A and B are shown apart, each in its own frame.
Chain A
């Protein structure tokens, strides 16, 4: 630590070079921060990372197939099931449809299964009591400018009403908030009363898209999954039950291998970065060989010369990485306002910072090592005489 001013002086020796290097390190870490939030956002689509104590039951053929309503009471009777609710995909469009959000019809008790979605008790009750009632997440309400009491018309893409009309009008009775930022994707959903939906839709009465099940004990998940699937084995509507987490992960995995794409880009970026800063460090040390020789002459050990050069490289990267990650946070917020509510980018948080800084340290050591070893090994006589 006491040599900090020495390291600092070395960095300030050629200000332009240091600034340019920091700027390119900065862009690399800006990308790192941004891409990492995108990756986390994709992993959290649907947002239910906490859903280990909830199961989802869908048709085994594919989750686009409907299941009979009669399963509800049978699932309820399975040991280990605390509560059952159900939902049906609606896929409505609001206005010109450019601003898509998921909309689903759900049973009255649906929100009891999601205690982490905070909603005033009066609003929970209003959803139970209002035939045309709808509940949305805070994020979606803000974006669309909705408030409690608004009438919201959605255009059906799958389910017209009995008279053939595609327009469904709902009354907004509740707005919920999700406090965990990583699960805030759940605030983009539009939920409305299944009973009204089932009564008024043109076809498909008495069927639901999926069952949501709350377990009494998450450890029993596998046993309960098997028991539920056994209910409909060998029938014409076999089911597949899995944890909410597994269900969401499988769904997201179908979009694309985000991990692979992001990983390849990061690989290209950091490979370039290592080469670039490595070259800068080599240059910086080459220019300073006589100075390093002087340091050695006045008694600096081989070790401390090595440490000095390594520390310089790590410091350079750490400065660039910090500014880059800081900017990534700002940029992520800006991107969020652009892409709307379809994908919620979590803030660049402690994990990204930790991972980013660790990466900076590792790269710093890699690029600093060769020049540092050169500085450590140089012979005073040769270096001072410029050989």
Chain B
């Protein structure tokens, strides 16, 4: 009795070892290693005698799938569900992160008041803004002015098109050099706002999301009427903003001559360290200096991490459910094929080809499920736009990005579920006593 228990324990320990290693390989190995493994297995199947045996047993197994379509579709649909949810949530995190990351680069630097973290919190007085733009590391335009934009970030409340409810939109006052600073900003409709006038231009995503900011319409802010004179596309998170003249927005929001930040174009990316050191050594100003790349990266981290964790946890729980579904179906498949498998064993096939054939069958079903799930996620959610509150307390619009890496991740999850769900039924199939199997009705 005791010995039986011990050997059972050893058996199950071995079984755990059998799949922990492959699962680790599938989940963590790079694509080329997996490809090499697949190629190796394929070569083994095609070239060796045992391999050809496995192949023919697999073919028999697969040819019986139409007879148990219900059970097989459980494996496929279960895995498709897991992969679709996982890929969709990760695509959301990816989209948010990429939208913000593309906003920053190494050639421009942003200066804010020390300790303020976001532009909305920051206040710089006029003298500081002037000092910053006069730093020697700031690039100069053709007419000799420094390419620096003193900017003011405030929030306006406008009705959303989808819900009709008020939501926050970021209103950014920019300086005259903003166009040299961000050459990627293209006016798509209308024209640029004129400095000194109550004119606004609206980013592409802001226009799509908020009502009443089409070019030509007027917006009332603080009892003042502003005219929207154009629309722009920057290809990054500025698309969620409204832009106007810093000084005029400052007076409308009673900010006097203060600004939120100064963004400058550096002579070279390497000049950043000197720029930062110079400003921090200057006793007249108390500022934080960062490249726009590191500033916008930091803005995206919290939210994208939360979504990633949520996606992985939900995906993992669903995956466990799908494993049980697969186990159920594959045990049933093995049970209905008991006689057939016993016959194979009786005429001389060994256990290994049987194990391999059940495994290959499950993995193929899993792969199909993974492909369907990833395909659904891609078809429905690639470029699906959503918005959330960004760190400036206003809406940031972003598009889901279903990248090839995410699709690949989804397939890896599918294969893992197939591996775990197929292994035990495969072992059972091989261990069934031949005589009992043959007698089974």
**Chain A residues with a Cβ under 8 A of chain B:** 16-17, 20-21, 23-24, 26-28, 30-31, 34-35, 60-65, 91, 93, 97, 155-158, 160, 164, 166, 203, 234-238, 240, 250, 253-257, 264-265, 268-269, 271-273, 275-276, 279-280, 282-283
Given A155-B115, A160-B115, verify A64-B154 contact (CB < 8 Å): yes
Q: In the complex, how many angstroms separate the beta carbon of A97 from the nearest chain B beta carbon?
A: 8
Report Cα–Cα, A268/B154, bound state, in Å: 40
Asked if B116 and A158 make an inter-chain contact with CB atoms under 8 angstroms apart, the answer reads yes
B211 within 8 A of A: no
B178 within 8 A of A: no
Q: Kindly state whether residue B223 has any CB partner on chain A within 8 Å.
A: yes
Given the interface pairs A17-B331, A276-B325, the reply to whether A61 lies near B81 with Cβ below 8 Å is no
- A60 pairs with B388, CB closer than 8 A: no
A to B CB contacts below 8 Å, 7 in the list: A24-B322, A34-B317, A65-B155, A269-B321, A271-B81, A276-B74, A282-B70
Chain B residues positioned under 8 Å from A236 (CB to CB): 222-223, 254
- Residue B221 at the chain A interface, CB threshold 8 Å: yes
Contact A157 B393, beta carbon cutoff 8 Å = no
Q: Are B114 and A166 in contact (CB under 8 A)?
A: yes
Q: How far is the CA of A62 from the CA of B120 in the complex (A)?
A: 13
* A235 to B223 CA separation, bound complex (whole angstroms): 7
Q: Is the CB of A255 within 8 A of B165?
A: no
B38 at the interface (CB under 8 A from A): no
Chain B facing A: main interface SS: mixed
B438 CB-CB contact with A under 8 Å: no
With A and B bound together, what is the CA distance between A65 and B70 in angstroms?
Answer: 61
Q: A16-B331, A26-B321, A269-B321 are in contact. List 5 more A-B contacts (CB 8 A).
A: A157-B121, A250-B166, A275-B73, A275-B78, A276-B328
With a cutoff of 8 Å between Cβ atoms, the chain B residues found around residue A237 in the complex are 222
Chain B interface bracket (under 10, 10 to 19, 20 to 34, 35 or more): 35 or more
The 10 A-B residue pairs with the shortest CB-CB distance in the complex, in nearest-first order? A27-B321, A62-B155, A24-B324, A272-B81, A20-B328, A24-B321, A23-B324, A166-B115, A158-B121, A62-B157
Chain B residue at smallest Cβ distance from A64: B155
A337 vs chain B, min Cβ distance (A): 14
Q: Which residues of A contact B147 (CB under 8 A)?
A: none
**Distance to closest chain B CB from A335 (angstroms):** 8
Please tell me if the beta carbons of A17 and B155 are within 8 angstroms of each other in the complex: no
Distance from A314 Cβ to chain B, minimum over Cβ atoms (Å): 19
Whether the Cβ atoms of B328 and A21 lie closer than 8 Å is yes
Query: Are B165 and A253 in contact, with the CB atoms below 8 A?
Result: yes
- Hey, which chain A residues are within 8 Å of B223, CB to CB? 234-236, 238
CB distance from B205 to the nearest CB of A (A): 15
Residues of A contacting B123 in the complex (Cβ-Cβ under 8 angstroms): 158, 203
**With A23-B324, A254-B168, A256-B388 in contact, is A269–B318 under 8 Å at CB?**
yes
Q: Considering the complex, which residues of chain B in the window 161-177 have a beta carbon less than 8 Å from any beta carbon of chain A?
A: 163, 165-168
A30 touches B395 (CB 8 A): no
* Most chain B beta carbons < 10 A, residue from A158, A160, A264, A282: A158
Q: Are B321 and A28 in contact, with the CB atoms below 8 A?
A: yes
Complex partner residue of B324 from A27, A63, A257, CB under 8 angstroms: A27
Chain A positions within 8 Å of B78 at CB level: 24, 272, 275-276
The answer to whether B85 and A27 have CB atoms under 8 Å apart is: no
User: Is there an interface contact between B222 and A279, defined as CB atoms closer than 8 Å?
Assistant: no
Across-interface contacts of B317 in A (CB, < 8 A)? 27, 30-31, 34
* Chain B residue with the shortest CB-CB distance to A269: B318
Is B14 an interface residue when CB atoms closer than 8 A count as contact? no
Chain B positions within 8 Å of A27 at CB level? 317-318, 320-321, 324
Nearest-neighbour CB distance to chain A for B379, whole angstroms, equals: 14
| Bound: A249/B71 CA distance, A | 45
Contact across chains for B165 and A250 when beta carbons are under 8 A apart: yes
Contact check, B168 vs A279: say whether CB atoms are below 8 A apart: no
Is A279 a contact of B154 with CB atoms below 8 Å? no
> A283 near B324 (CB under 8 angstroms)?
no
- A88 to B222, alpha carbons, bound, how many Å? 20
Q: Does the CB pair B116–A157 fall under 8 Å?
A: yes
Given contacts A31-B317, A61-B156, A62-B157, contact A279 B253 (CB under 8 A): no
Shortest Cβ distance from B387 into A: residue: A256
Cα distance A61–B249 when bound, in Å? 13
A275 touching B77, Cβ below 8 Å: yes
B75-95 to A contact mask, C-beta < 8 Å, 1/0: 001100100110011000000
| B256 (CB) vs chain A CBs: closest residue | A203
Which single residue of chain B is at the shortest CB-CB distance from A331? B317
Interchain CA distance A341-B221 in the complex, whole Å: 36
Check if B312 is an interface residue, CB within 8 A of chain A.
no
Tell me which of B120, B332, B387 contacts A283 (CB under 8 A).
Answer: B332
Using a CB-CB cutoff of 8 Å, which residues 112-159 of chain B contact chain A? 113-118, 120-121, 123, 154-157
- Bound: A236/B222 CA distance, A: 6
Choice from B89, B115, B163, B222 contacting A238 with Cβ under 8 Å? B222
Select which of A64, A250, A264, A272 is within 8 A of B321 by beta carbon. A272
**Residue of B whose beta carbon sits closest to that of A92:** B115
Q: Are A20 and B324 in contact (CB under 8 A)?
A: yes
A17 interface neighbour in B85, B167, B286, B332, Cβ under 8 Å: B332
B389 within 8 Å of A (CB atoms)? yes
Residue of A nearest to B114 (CB): A166
